[in-house]
Amino acid sequence: MFKFMWGFFFLLQVAFLGRSNVGKSSLIQALFHQCPHVKVNISSKPGHTKTLNFYQVRKKFFLIDMPGYGYNMPQHFASSVEGYLQNRRRLCRTFLLIDSEIGITKADNIALEMFDEFRIPYVLVFTKIDKVNRYIQLQTLLSVLKIKDQLSHCCFSQPFFVSAKIGNGIPLLQSFIGYITGNLKITGH
Ligand SMILES: Nc1nc2c(ncn2[C@@H]2O[C@H](COP(=O)(O)OP(=O)(O)O)[C@@H](O)[C@H]2O)c(=O)[nH]1
Ligand SMILES: [Mg+2]
């Protein structure tokens, strides 16, 4: 417990946010299944994750599975998520997950505005790419380019495309998280 508290104050954090059912818990499991302390619940019922769940990854950093917005949004969502984001001290990056089949929704736009307002560095991650063909993926990419000017400088310029089900894009995202948390050194760039 003491070690957990120590890590909580000193280790960097990365957060995963998105609409309910977008695949947050599945993605976290696909990214961190080799870490013994990361045990996420994946439910067929939307709105399963109701609080901020913190997981420590090998004494290196914390990841946070946040409650989904949209369906069955818990009443305390605004205070828990917004409260955390406003006061975050060790949060180095937030991953905003978007369902590839659905694209960017009004609810996602509210999250984007919130990132702007609080100046939170974030990355767009398109989930479930196994469910869409490459033309839809291309359309999605183009739709991001279209709204590029609305996206603030807090947005990382490269969106990630992943499938927790078949593993596409997972190794690249793992490396990116390793890099931004200071656990992976890249030379020659
Ligand atoms: N086909 C497919 N289904 C997925 C993928 N990721 C999640 N799902 C499904 O989407 C549903 C919601 O996933 P979950 O991780 O619980 O979403 P959360 O509410 O955002 O945490 C579950 O039925 C998952 O099996 C994926 O990459 N591909
Ligand atoms: Mg979940």
Taking only the tens place, the pLDDT of each residue in 111-170 is 888 888 889 999 999 999 999 999 999 998 888 887 777 677 788 988 999 999 999 999
Secondary structure class of 184 (helix, strand, coil): coil
Q: Which one is predicted more confidently, 86 or 77?
A: 86
Is the pLDDT at 70 greater than 80? The verdict is no
Query: Cα dist. 14→101, 142, 180 in Å?
Result: 25, 27, 9
Evaluate whether 64 touches 13 at the Cβ level (below 8 Å). Answer: yes
Amino acid found at 105: T
Domain annotation covers residue 59: yes
Domain annotation covers residue 170: yes
Q: Where are the beta strands (DSSP E) in 67-121?
A: 91-99
pLDDT of residue 143: 84
Domain annotation covers residue 187: no
CA 49 – ligand 2 centroid, Å: 5
Nearest protein CA to atom 8 of ligand 1, as residue: 23
pLDDT per residue over 79-105, tens digit each? 778 888 888 889 999 999 999 999 998
For the chain, how many structural domains are there in total?
1
Domain annotation covers residue 4: no
Here the CATH number for the domain that contains residue 134 is 3.40.50.300
Domain annotation covers residue 2: no
Domain annotation covers residue 86: yes
Token look-up 């999250």 returns 111
pLDDT of residue 34: 81
CA 21 – ligand 2 centroid, Å: 7
Nearest protein CA to atom 9 of ligand 1, as residue: 23
Is the pLDDT at 74 greater than 60? The verdict is no
Mean pLDDT of the chain: 84
Domain annotation covers residue 16: yes
For 61, the domain range is 11-180
Token look-up 């947050």 returns 24
Is the pLDDT at 43 greater than 60? The verdict is no
Judge if pTM exceeds 0.75.
Answer: yes
pLDDT of residue 67: 83
Task: Please state, in angstroms and rounded to a whole number, the distance separating the CA atoms of residues 50 and 20.
Answer: 10
Which atom of ligand 1 is closest in space to residue 26's alpha carbon?
15
pLDDT of residue 4: 58
Is the pLDDT at 49 greater than 90? The verdict is no
Is the pLDDT at 9 greater than 80? The verdict is no
Model confidence band, residue 48 (pLDDT cutoffs 50, 70, 90): low
Domain annotation covers residue 153: yes
Task: Please state, in angstroms and rounded to a whole number, the distance separating the CA atoms of residues 104 and 50.
Answer: 22
